Amino acid sequence: MSGAVPPGGAPPGAPQPEAGDARGPDSRREILFLTATRADFGKLKPLIERVRDSQAFRYRIFVTGMHMLSRYGSTAREIEKAGFTGLFHHINQDGAVTSQMDLVLANTIQGLGHYVREFPPDLIVVHGDRLEALAGAAVGALNNTLVAHVEGGELSGTVDELLRHAVSKLSHVHFVANEEARTRLVQMGELPQSVFVVGSPDIDVMLGDSLPDLDEVRRKYEIPFQDYVILMYHPVTTELEKLGRHIEEVAAAIEDSGRACVAIFPNNDAGSEMILERLRALAAGRPERVRLIPSMRFEYFLRLLKGASAIVGNSSAGVREAPVYGVPTVNVGTRQLNRVRGGASVLDVPEDRAAIGQALANLPRDCAPSRHFGHGNSAELFLEALGGSGFWSTPRQKQFRDVGIARG
């Protein structure tokens, strides 16, 4: 454990123990945030900051997944640099092995389970659709610990969607991005009073004043060009037999376009080695036009995105974050299939060299910024929910709620 949770009584305004609560009157509730990737930390960071600054709760952070791998930049250090304490680091995978997703899940459950039993939290907060989020929800459910899921109720069209819905069913409370997601969770049998619409927390950062200057970003990551597109392409684990051809079509389209490109490593799902091999070849063959980066600090990535001509690939950043800035997206393939788009700035194309090239040559201009996923006050709404009456008495024993089923 790299940082200790400071002792001390609860400050004024802290939640008071409820009937049957064995804790003393000065004991603050402890919230454990689980983070495994640069992306989910960017989403959770505003929530952690608001919890920390409220002085009404204690927080801890369980750091695992890609954060712990040197090949992805050992981004666990970025969490420390952000000033957070109470961190516990857990290596749940070998950096050289990317295909054993079931083992990653098992390793995370084992490590987090040990930790939760040694340092019991009052709430575990997980985000999204990664294996680690599923592990966090399972550990909470099996240890009678309240679990909150951030950004459930969304569609993606791949195995990620199955994981996201599984996390939701194992969670007790939900913080969703919009009314569509809320409706979907209620349709899945979740209690309406346990689903809170707060928007996407990263929009708090996107619309805030903490982003660095673009020149600073370019200096830090040694990006020599000013006019560029961002390339982010991740494996689609249900289409691995096509991955070689797909990444070749994407890379060839970038080469054909003549555009300068900042390419960022894919996530560590099965197939990522194949993508990395092609991206390295792309950067080696066009060093004056392609900059390959393992990982970026979240605020720096957002500033890079804000200044980009477009984002290309299949990252959720193209359909979620880019529209907030009105940056065009060339969304490639099926990874974001059925996912709500933030605006008209998203162009959907297959993994086809010509189609991608045509989209790059005809990018939409002057796209209106989208606020479909929030208005920059997610952390405020999150903290408000934590302090609401009845939140901490949410039943740990979930019962399925039938919706719209005729009985006879």
Residues 6+ apart with CB under 8 A from 195: 153, 173, 174, 176, 182, 185, 186
Q: How far apart are CA 287 and CA 264, in angstroms?
A: 14
pLDDT tens track for 366-377: 999 998 899 999
Q: Are 67 and 194 in a shared domain?
A: yes
Q: How far apart are CA 28 and CA 10, in angstroms?
A: 5
Residue 150 belongs to a domain: yes
Residue with tokens 């592990």: 135
Residue 305 belongs to a domain: yes
Q: Are 221 and 297 in a shared domain?
A: yes
Q: Which two tokens stand for residue 299?
A: 């605020």
Rounded to an integer, the average pLDDT of 156-181 is 93
Q: Which domain holds residue 319?
A: 214-361
DSSP string, 307-372: T-SEEEES-HHHHTTHHHHT--EEEESSTTTTPPPSSTTEEEE-S-HHHHHHHHHT---SPPPP-T
Residue with tokens 């304490």: 85
Residue 368 belongs to a domain: no
**Domain count within the chain:** 2
pLDDT tens track for 264-315: 999 888 899 999 999 999 999 999 999 999 999 999 999 999 999 999 999 9
Rounded to an integer, the average pLDDT of 173-181 is 96
Residue with tokens 């009678």: 144
What is the helix, strand, coil percentage profile of the chain, to 5? 40, 15, 45
pLDDT band at 401 (very low <50, low <70, confident <90, very high): confident
* Whether pLDDT at 407 is above 80: no
pTM of the predicted model, to two decimals? Answer: 0.83
Q: Are 223 and 294 in a shared domain?
A: yes
* Whether pLDDT at 157 is above 80: no
Residue 92 belongs to a domain: yes
Residues 6+ apart with CB under 8 A from 216: none
Residue 25 belongs to a domain: no
Q: How far apart are CA 34 and CA 201, in angstroms?
A: 15
Rounded to an integer, the average pLDDT of 187-215 is 95
Strands 290-293 and 261-264, bridge-based pairing:
parallel
Q: Are 153 and 225 in a shared domain?
A: no
Residue 91 belongs to a domain: yes
Q: How far apart are CA 142 and CA 111, in angstroms?
A: 14
Q: Are 68 and 130 in a shared domain?
A: yes
Q: Which two tokens stand for residue 345?
A: 């700035």
Cβ–Cβ under 8 Å, residues 163 and 8: no
Q: Are 243 and 314 in a shared domain?
A: yes
Percentage of residues of the chain with pLDDT beyond 70: 90
Q: Are 286 and 189 in a shared domain?
A: no
Q: What is the pLDDT of residue 99?
A: 55
Q: Are 174 and 237 in a shared domain?
A: no
Q: What is the pLDDT of residue 15?
A: 43
pLDDT band at 237 (very low <50, low <70, confident <90, very high): confident
Q: Which two tokens stand for residue 192?
A: 């309406």
pLDDT tens track for 238-269: 899 999 999 999 999 999 999 999 999 998 88
pLDDT band at 342 (very low <50, low <70, confident <90, very high): low
Q: Are 179 and 235 in a shared domain?
A: no
Question: 24 or 32: which carries more pLDDT confidence?
Answer: 32
CATH number at residue 325: 3.40.50.2000
Q: Are 305 and 379 in a shared domain?
A: no
Q: What is the pLDDT of residue 19?
A: 41
Q: Are 34 and 179 in a shared domain?
A: yes
Residue 1 belongs to a domain: no
Residue 404 belongs to a domain: no
Chain centroid to CA 191: how far? 24
Q: Are 186 and 39 in a shared domain?
A: yes
Q: What is the pLDDT of residue 387?
A: 94
